[in-house]
Amino acid sequence: MTKWEYVTVPLLVHATKQILDNWGSDGWELVQVVPGLNPENLVAYLKRPLPTA
């Protein structure tokens, strides 16, 4: 069974693609984007497999 690690990342509306591309190049997969505390903010939830020991 795959074990995962997760991270939440604040997204700036004007730089969403660059932020997600940066995390994606490190092996993170986008799970969901939800609204932040105000309309200009979004929060991304990402996951990637834990390294096997």
Query: What is the pLDDT at residue 13?
Result: 85
Query: What is the pLDDT at residue 10?
Result: 94
d(CA 52, CA 9): 24
Query: What is the pLDDT at residue 38?
Result: 85
Query: What is the pLDDT at residue 8?
Result: 97
Does the domain formed by 4-49 have CATH 3.40.50?
A: no
Query: Which residues, 6+ apart, have CB-to-CB distance to 10 below 8 Å?
Result: 36, 41, 42, 43, 44
**What does the domain layout of the chain look like in residue ranges?**
4-49
Query: In degrees rounded to 5, what are phi and psi of residue 13?
Result: -55, -35
pLDDT in tens, the chain (53 residues): 999 999 999 998 889 999 999 999 999 999 999 999 887 789 999 999 998 86
